[in-house]
Structure formats: structure tokens, C-alpha cells
Copies of this chain bind each other. A is one copy, B any other.
């Protein structure tokens, strides 16, 4: 049987990261490929108690249909927290609970983008977002990322060069995959440029709270006086990804349309996870839990940076993140990291080759993404040591 797949989906491939994950299941392999939070930091005992109490005391609430906008106490708690932590929430803003940050991105695309419209993305960027954009036939235009975030001059010229630019997608804080953070000055320029050109901004901030030293740069949404920023947030990195909980905050007109799109997509986000997150926020101290994550990741990132400094060939460039989950390395020398990934698997280490995060995934790429959040110190050091050997051979022969 030959099936006719829709134009928008016919060329779509699954994420290459998922293929690599098959190797990552092998316990003898050191995986620096993931983007998962550290599982030892999940508040499992607290959530077990909350789940039990919820199903015992509010069974109908937990098991019956809910409303598309989300469980009201969770929405209120997230609004309060966004106001307090990120200074987000103007009078015209509204918030919807979504089934993970990914869904906020997908629904925004469905509601805003026609086939052929242009979306400007950081290059490299999160493949979950770029694939969501591709799945609606958007044209992706990449703008390079510097140590202080998106190259705003390049952004201006991209806007001048391309038609129908509808959206700028950015992960300004502890960017995936680079780990870099956009400066406040650049955020303000980005906002002004988008406003002037009538372009919306999708600000994706799943890692923002995972700052190593407490430093925070204001979110773009915090100075959005004109309602042009859609802000996507997630519980995946601060509570649990398996619960599939995220939220989207934007002007209420946009959220109304997102609600209609979500209604036909999954009706509403599963109730029990929503109630669990709501009760966790009420009964426990999420800020204290996040402080532990920050310390844990700061330590692991430091371990990896030290190992890179010791074992990687001289001349390899790498980022020094102030938070989040990722380090980005560029080997230069015309090396293709997709080929190196295969050599690395022979040495029982996996990473994600950089082409995965590019607008043109078929173009050879000399960079790669490393993750430190789910691996022990020993494995981080051993993994980087093995990669050093592979990279040295590739560069120096």
C-alpha cells in the first residue's frame, strides 16, 4: 500500500536525537546526548503522596474531563510565580496550561503560521521547535548566535531580506543547544526590531530558572508592553518532564485561539499531573528544590568544562554556560561531527552532532552538543576523555 502523506508532513523526519537515544539505552555507553533533567532530583516521594491524596479525596476532579485552559489553581499558581520570578503578566495577558513546552510551540505555530511563512530562528536552535515549524510548512531562516546571544545585526538584515517574516523564535537564556544567554541590551533591541516590523516573538524559556550563580537577565516578555511576545515555559526541567506540563503566556486574544487549537489537539492536559504540580507548589518549596538543581548542574557543568580543558585538542572552541543543561563545542578544521558520532559510538560515548540543530540539517557541521545533567562525575570525565581521543584523531590525524 502506498499512502499519500500530506505535503506538510511528507518530508518530515523524526528527530536524529531519538535515533542516538537508542544507543543511549545501552548501559555500557556513556550518553552525553540527552537533554533530560537529573532523575535523582525528582521529588518522587512528595509526588507519590500528593497523587494518592488527590485520587482519594478528589477522584472526580482528577479523573473526569477538565477544561481546555487548564486546572484553575495551577494556572493561578503559575501566574503568581511568573509575576514574582520573571516579572511577567500584563493586564491583557492570559495563560494556558499545555502538555509540555513542546505543545505550546506547536499550537502557536498552528495558530500563527501559514505554509510558506518565514520564521527566524537562532542557528543552532532546539530541534523540537524547528521540527514543529517545519511540520506546518514554515520557511526557516537562521540567524547566528554569539556568546551574548543572537546576532542582532544579522537579525535586522534577515528581516530586510525575507518576506512574510511572522515570528522570531528565541531561547534567550541558557540556549539549547549552545548554553549561551542573550544580553539585556540585545533583548531590548530584538524587541524593538520585532515591534517596528510587526513580527511576533516566541520566547522559549525552559531553562531560565537553572542559573548557576543566581544571575538573571530580564525576560523579553517582561518588557512586552505591546503584546507581541508569546512566552513558553515548562515544568520539565524544574519538576518532571514525564508529567508533560508546560504553559504559554501571551495576549488574551492569542490565548483564545490557542485554546481552540488545543481543544482539537488533546481537549485538555491530563488532570492528575496538573493537580500534582499545583499541590506541589502549594505544599512544598519549589524555590528550594530549584536551588539544589542549580548547585547540582553548576557542579556537573564545571566538571565537564574542566575535563574538556584537559582532554580536548587545543583549538576546540566551547561555550561556558551560566546555567541550563548544555555545552556547545566547535571543532573547526572542516570536521563533520556526524561522522565523528559514529567513531564515538565505537568508543561507547554518544553526543548530538551539530547539524541536528541547523536549518539545513544536511550540511556538514563541525560543532556538537554535550549534556552533563544526567551523568555522574566519573562518567562525565571518562566520556570527555574518550571524546578527546576521537577528536584528536579527527583533527590531528
A4 interface residue (CB < 8 Å to B): yes
Least CB separation from A35: chain B residue: B65
Given contacts A5-B112, A100-B267, contact A260 B59 (CB under 8 A): no
Task: Give Cα A327–Cα B185 distance, bound, in whole angstroms.
Answer: 62
A128 touches B264 (CB 8 A): yes
Least CB distance, A92 to chain B, in whole angstroms: 8
A228 interface residue (CB < 8 Å to B): yes
A14 touches B166 (CB 8 A): no
Least CB separation from A256: chain B residue: B14
A1 interface residue (CB < 8 Å to B): yes
Binds B, one of A174-182, A270-278, A308-316: A270-278
Given contacts A14-B263, A242-B270, contact A56 B68 (CB under 8 A): no
Least CB separation from A104: chain B residue: B266
Contact residue among B15, B44, B254 (Cβ-Cβ distance under 8 Å from A56): B44
Least CB distance, A23 to chain B, in whole angstroms: 14
Within 8 A of B (CB), among A238-284: 240-244, 251, 253-254, 257, 259-261, 263-273
A99 interface residue (CB < 8 Å to B): yes
Least CB distance, A320 to chain B, in whole angstroms: 26
A100 touches B266 (CB 8 A): yes
Given contacts A6-B112, A56-B44, A243-B270, contact A39 B14 (CB under 8 A): no
Binds B, one of A45-53, A153-161, A387-395: A45-53
Within 8 A of B (CB), among A36-70: 36-37, 39, 42, 44-45, 47-49, 51-52, 54-56, 59-68
Identical chains bound together, number:
2
Least CB distance, A17 to chain B, in whole angstroms: 10
Task: Give Cα A13–Cα B54 distance, bound, in whole angstroms.
Answer: 33
Within 8 A of B (CB), among A209-247: 226-228, 236, 240-244
Given contacts A110-B6, A111-B6, A244-B269, contact A64 B44 (CB under 8 A): no
Which chain B residues lie closer than 8 Å to A115 at the CB level?
Answer: 115
A363 interface residue (CB < 8 Å to B): no
Least CB separation from A58: chain B residue: B44
A264 touches B1 (CB 8 A): no
A306 interface residue (CB < 8 Å to B): no
Which chain B residues lie closer than 8 Å to A62 at the CB level?
Answer: 44, 242
A266 touches B63 (CB 8 A): no
Least CB distance, A72 to chain B, in whole angstroms: 12
A254 touches B3 (CB 8 A): yes
A289 interface residue (CB < 8 Å to B): no
A48 touches B52 (CB 8 A): yes
A197 interface residue (CB < 8 Å to B): no
Least CB separation from A21: chain B residue: B67
Task: Give Cα A37–Cα B64 distance, bound, in whole angstroms.
Answer: 8
Task: Give Cα A128–Cα B268 distance, bound, in whole angstroms.
Answer: 12
Which chain B residues lie closer than 8 Å to A3 at the CB level?
Answer: 112, 200, 251, 253-254, 257
Given contacts A6-B112, A55-B44, contact A242 B64 (CB under 8 A): yes
Q: 12 new A-B pairs (CB below 8 Å) besides A42-B60, A102-B267? A: A1-B226, A6-B112, A13-B260, A18-B68, A48-B52, A48-B59, A52-B52, A61-B242, A115-B115, A243-B271, A244-B267, A266-B266
Q: Which 10 A-B pairs have the closest CB atoms?
A: A44-B59, A48-B55, A242-B271, A63-B240, A51-B51, A52-B52, A132-B264, A244-B270, A99-B266, A39-B60
